[in-house]
Amino acid sequence: MPISGLVIVLTPKAARDGMADGFLESMRSNLTLTIGERANDRIPVVLETATAEESRSAIERLRNMEGVALVEVTYVDFADAVTPEPTPGRSDDGG
């Protein structure tokens, strides 16, 4: 289960015009996110997903949300991630 530490940076308009409250409400409905306390234009978030692909997809969705200027990935832990079994007859160099 990949766990990612993220910092969501809001656009100046979103941070200034109160869009952050609506943004935070929409994020709270997502059960894979744990949201920290907002500090100016930055919101710390922990993302837990079942696979690395789900993690990448969730981060991309966050990046595309209105009012988001940037999603900084500060930490990723793949310790519990499932490693695919090697393909028989195939070496690490693809041969």
Note the pLDDT of residue 11. 92
In terms of pLDDT, which residue wins out, 35 or 89? 35
pLDDT higher than threshold 70 for residue 91 = no
Whole-structure pTM value: 0.74
Distance CA 5, CA 73 (A): 6
Note the pLDDT of residue 32. 77
Give mean pLDDT, residues 51-75. Answer: 90
Q: Which of 48-52, 68-72, 88-92 reaches the highest mean pLDDT?
A: 68-72
Domains (ranges, CATH) in the chain? 3-77 (3.30.70.920)
